[in-house]
Amino acid sequence: MKEGFRQSMAWLHTWSGLLVCWVLLLVFTAGTSAYYRDEISLWMKPELHEAAASPVPNTVAIENAIRMLEKDAAGVSRWFINAPSDRNPAVSVGWSLPPAPGEKGRGKFVRHELNPATGVPLAEPRETRGGEFLYRLHYDLHYMPAKWARWIVGFCAMFMLAAIVSGVITHKRIFKDFFTFRPKKGQRSWLDAHNALAVLALPYHLMITYTGLVTLMFMYMPAGVDAVYKGDQKAFQADVFPAAENKKPAGKPAPLAPLGPMILQAQKHWGGGEVDRITVNNAGDANATVNISRQQGQKLSYLRQAVQFDGVTGAMTSTTGDTPSGAAESRGVLMGLHLASFADPLLRFLFFLCGMAGCAMVATGALLWAVKKRQEAAKVLAKGGKVGFGLRLVEGLNLGAIGGLPIAYAAYFWGNRLLPVGMEKRIDAEISWFFIAWGVATVIGLVRPTRGMWQIMLGIGGAMFMALPLLNVFTTHSHLGITLLQGKGPWPVVGFDLFALVFGFFLLYAVRHLQKKKSALKPVAKARPQAKPTVPTVDSDELVTREAT
């Protein structure tokens, strides 16, 4: 543009950030919470809390699962077993029923969660999508075809990438901004907060945005596959992700070899590491095969390693994913970084904190724009002009979409505890609580975007979060009094409750902060009705030059 490079990048940063910030915030918050999707799912199924507290070794859990499958799913073409992990203590089994007569393709898929110690199906938990909803919300949004949603999210992610790169160029003093926070100075404070949050976790923000695009890159950028494979996605997939072939059943019965030795052999082949998923093809047939894949844990790359066995003799027949090419491994690592399934509890918590910083960065950026424009508008107002439509819209959306988001999340969790366990379409009802709460907040925000309304919204969100552990006391047998004070666990549930308390407290603290600020400003305004805004106005060019020097 006309001005210097840095100014034009400041412009790009502002607009690429502002235009998509509300969608981005939803994507960021959902993605951040999805780091704990297993834990959230567990919290949302109180019926599973007791089994979760008594784990057994994986080999025992898997043998128990096999015994259950041999009894209940004999003659089915394929069994799936998901071994317990540190984060999800139940062992789950699944199989596809044969298609109903006259129908093509696969039949209904049956899935059960078993008590790992006994192999008995757990008491059917309440119907909920739990953390899975938040995980899907992160890239599939809701109430629309997944394909559209992924394009929308990808479009916003690309804006985010442009905003991050141009934001970095805008900052000459990037290192100094790290240590700069000038509180209680209006616009300046918002700028400092935005800078500090963005710069502190910059490598994370850049990584998570780029790797997010990488997770769906063949959809967003099919040009390479089109050019080389003439658009034949299947041939390309077969080249990149070789999979073991499955044999047809021979029709001759033969007993399935025990899985314990196979698991040991697979672990020996990998040099350690836990088992993740076991697939048994044609169990009870002479052509039975067993595929054992390795748990992602501790491994940065998302590429799966797996070992195949003959199901009757128990001999190892082939392996996949042991020696990926450099390019395949690079993509695996980028995907792994995004999904963070390798992260141990401490690292996972750091990822979560960085994700929260990302949410706060998006939110403060949106607020910063409105605060800046509001000060410019104050001058126009003083001359008898009107506040522009753009500013009103942004202020309203900020209040509704940002201030209302905690209420939406809390409403989803409240719905999980309060909706009757046996009701029809319970899953849809839970999810609709999220969107109804968010929608109402957004409408109210657009109608009355005032400071008082900010206090009310944040106050409601904070109170709803702080009340969640209390709600547990009345609706479950695994509230903090039992899980924490009596030390019975399960610990993920304890963590969830404690986080709800802390986060709710933080929101209420913000309300108090706003209250103080209001009462501090009022007397000044009363004493000097004609007074200019108490915060010195700074126009955008001046800000950029300040940063540039």
Partner 1 sequence: MKSNEGLRYRMGVASRAVAAILGGYALAAVSTALMALALPMARADAVLTATLLSFTVYVCAVIWVFAARDALRAWLGIGAPTLLLGLGVMALRGAA
Q: Which residues bind partner 1 (CB under 8 A)?
A: 1-2, 5, 8-9, 11-12, 16, 158, 161-162, 165-166, 169, 210, 213-214, 217-218, 221, 223-229, 236, 239-240, 325-328, 330-331, 334
Distance of alpha carbon 204 from alpha carbon 355, whole angstroms: 8
User: 507 near 461, Cβ under 8 Å?
Assistant: yes
Nearer to partner 1, 300 or 535 (CB): 300
Nearer to partner 1, 160 or 493 (CB): 160
Nearer to partner 1, 8 or 317 (CB): 8
Q: How far is the CB of 164 from partner 1 (least distance, A)?
A: 9
Q: How far is the CB of 391 from partner 1 (least distance, A)?
A: 18
Q: How far is the CB of 177 from partner 1 (least distance, A)?
A: 21
SS3 per residue for 306-319: EEEEECCCCCEEEE
Select from 487, 513, 484 the least CA-distant residue to 501. Answer: 484
User: 233 near 217, Cβ under 8 Å?
Assistant: no
Cα-atom radius of gyration of the chain, to the nearest Å? 27
Q: How far is the CB of 507 from partner 1 (least distance, A)?
A: 35
Nearer to partner 1, 226 or 542 (CB): 226
Distance of alpha carbon 12 from alpha carbon 9, whole angstroms: 5
Q: How far is the CB of 360 from partner 1 (least distance, A)?
A: 23
Alpha helix positions (H), 387-476: 389-397, 405-418, 426-447, 451-475
270 token code pair: 């990998």
Q: How far is the CB of 158 from partner 1 (least distance, A)?
A: 7
Q: How far is the CB of 327 from partner 1 (least distance, A)?
A: 4
Nearer to partner 1, 162 or 501 (CB): 162
Nearer to partner 1, 6 or 173 (CB): 6
Nearer to partner 1, 158 or 480 (CB): 158
Distance of alpha carbon 417 from alpha carbon 70, whole angstroms: 36
Select from 282, 162, 309, 150 the least CA-distant residue to 220. Answer: 150
Q: How far is the CB of 151 from partner 1 (least distance, A)?
A: 12
Distance of alpha carbon 361 from alpha carbon 193, whole angstroms: 8
User: 98 near 105, Cβ under 8 Å?
Assistant: no
Strands 78-82 and 316-320: unpaired
Buried b (16+ CB within 10 A) or exposed e, 16-25: bbbebbbbbb
- For residue 151, what is the enclosing H or E element? helix 146-170
Neighbour order of strands in the sheet with 275-281? 109-114, 91-96, 78-82, 275-281, 289-294, 306-310, 316-320
Q: How far is the CB of 246 from partner 1 (least distance, A)?
A: 22
Nearer to partner 1, 303 or 360 (CB): 303
Q: How far is the CB of 15 from partner 1 (least distance, A)?
A: 9
Q: How far is the CB of 334 from partner 1 (least distance, A)?
A: 7
| C-beta contacts of 224-233 below 8 A and 24+ residues apart | none
Q: How far is the CB of 12 from partner 1 (least distance, A)?
A: 4
Nearer to partner 1, 152 or 254 (CB): 152
Nearer to partner 1, 325 or 486 (CB): 325
Nearer to partner 1, 294 or 331 (CB): 331
User: 146 near 444, Cβ under 8 Å?
Assistant: no
Q: Enumerate the β-bridge partners of residue 111.
A: 94
Select from 37, 137, 29, 41 the least CA-distant residue to 355. Answer: 29
- The terminus-to-terminus CA distance of the chain in angstroms comes to 20
Distance of alpha carbon 195 from alpha carbon 174, whole angstroms: 8
Q: How far is the CB of 324 from partner 1 (least distance, A)?
A: 10
Distance of alpha carbon 314 from alpha carbon 308, whole angstroms: 10
Q: How far is the CB of 35 from partner 1 (least distance, A)?
A: 23
- Angstrom distances, CA of residue 159 to CA of 9, 155, 465: 13, 6, 32
User: 118 near 128, Cβ under 8 Å?
Assistant: no
Nearer to partner 1, 57 or 385 (CB): 385
Distance of alpha carbon 486 from alpha carbon 480, whole angstroms: 9
Nearer to partner 1, 243 or 347 (CB): 243
Nearer to partner 1, 161 or 538 (CB): 161
